[in-house]
Structure 1
Amino acid sequence: MKKLAITAAVAVGLSLAAGAASAQTVVLVRHAEKADASRDPVLSEAGVRRAGELDATFGDHGPELVLVSPFQRTFLTAGPTIDAFDSEMKVVALDQGVDAHVAAVVTEVRSRPRDALVLVVGHSNTVPLIARALGVEAADMPECEYDRMTRIDLNEAAPTVHVTRYGAPADC
């Protein structure tokens, strides 16, 4: 089963790398599994495994920028990808509320060059809102869902979206 998940991740990575030069590309994921229900938990063992699989989804072309929230579970999820590609990481504040956070993420994404590849690691309540703010339909995310990966290509005509899964299937 693990081999299948890694093979799928590599296939997704090839598609991510192939489209990166033609349009600004944003990849949205929720942080990996949490160790507990505290306010700012670390990742569980399953979360650490998932975080370690995220970089493989990008193939040879990783994100130039990774946007995270101030919660450690987001930058712990992004860490292996940041290390693998020497990506810039930027923390986007949440202290002004979710709407301001979403607006700040969208502003940061849109300020990047046309051929940029940006990874956003968010939360179950922010990932769908960010996708919608970028102009695509996105389903709400249940609390148990950790494996959704949303790729949005922001081209001149209209954004296109591709939703896939990465790592082990979530227990939803």
Structure 2
Amino acid sequence: MKRLLLAAAVSLLTAGLAMAQTVVLVRHAEKADASADPALSEAGQARAQALAEALADMHPVLVLTSPLQRTRLTAAPTAQYHSARLEAVSLEDGGAAHVAATVARVRALPADAAVLIVGHSNTVPLIARALGYAEAADMPECEYDRMTTLHLMGDGTHGEVSRYGTPTAC
């Protein structure tokens, strides 16, 4: 009887996870310089490849970025690997509007969709919080290796933080 109850519980948990949106949030990789819209440095290009490798089993249907090239260049290897559409969310109306538009785009997707969001140190934590992950910590300017994975489910948002690529030291 205990085995039957355990099997039923595992089945319910698995079914619930199958209907969860999975959202992975990362900051863009290392910049080549301090200009307004820099490309990626050599280390940043390596990190973009490491991101694609880390997400090889994810199968995102959509990759959201800001319009700045460092976010698009960071996301490109993952989007190409999965043949996922890469979509830039405008920054024209400011950070709060960008966060709201990004969250609205995620919420408009099917309940079991997987999404990669590549943002900035000042937008990634705000997007995570707006998606219901209140534990999202602010991100220092020197941090490039944080990966926040969220599961958006009917009973709320569950998240975890991991690292990918070469560790960054702040």
- TM normalised by structure 2 equals 0.88
**Structure-2 separation of matches of 1:35 and 1:58:** 24
Give how far 1:54 is off: 0.7
Q: Alignment partner of 1:125: what SS?
A: coil
CA separation of 1:30 and 1:164: change in aligned 2, threshold 3 A = same
- Larger mean CA deviation between 37-46 and 55-64 belongs to 55-64
Q: Alignment partner of 1:61: what SS?
A: coil
Runs of at least 5 residues in structure 2 that lack an aligned partner in the other structure: 1-15
Contact 1:66 1:82 in 2 (8 A): yes
**Structure-1 separation of matches of 2:17 and 2:102:** 19
**Residue 141, structure 1, aligned to residue 139, structure 2:** yes
**Residue 34, structure 1, aligned to residue 28, structure 2:** no
Deviations 1:11-36 (Å, cap 9, x if unpaired)? xxxxxxxx973400110000000001
> Which residue of the other structure, out of 47, 69, 73, is the alignment partner of 1:72?
69
Deviations 1:97-133 (Å, cap 9, x if unpaired)? 0000000000000000011000000000000000010
**Structure-2 separation of matches of 1:98 and 1:84:** 29
| Residue 10 of structure 1: aligned partner | none
Give how far 1:61 is off: 3.5
| Residue 94 of structure 2: aligned partner | 97
Deviations 1:58-87 (Å, cap 9, x if unpaired)? 233321100000100000000100110000
**Residue 168, structure 1, aligned to residue 152, structure 2:** no
Contact 2:60 2:114 in 1 (8 A): yes
| Residue 59 of structure 1: aligned partner | 56
**Structure-1 separation of matches of 2:168 and 2:57:** 26
Aligned residues with identical type, % of pairs = 62
**Counterpart residue identity of residue 59, structure 2:** G
Q: Alignment partner of 2:93: what SS?
A: coil
**Structure-2 separation of matches of 1:20 and 1:120:** 20
Contact 1:20 1:117 in 2 (8 A): no
CA separation of 1:66 and 1:100: change in aligned 2, threshold 3 A = same
**Counterpart residue identity of residue 41, structure 1:** P
**Counterpart residue identity of residue 166, structure 1:** Y
Contact 2:76 2:86 in 1 (8 A): no
**Structure-1 separation of matches of 2:55 and 2:67:** 24
- TM normalised by structure 1 equals 0.87
Runs of at least 5 residues in structure 1 that lack an aligned partner in the other structure: 1-18
What RMSD, in angstroms, separates the aligned Cα atoms of the two structures? 1.2
Alignment size in residue pairs: 154
Q: Alignment partner of 1:77: what SS?
A: helix
Q: Alignment partner of 2:47: what SS?
A: helix
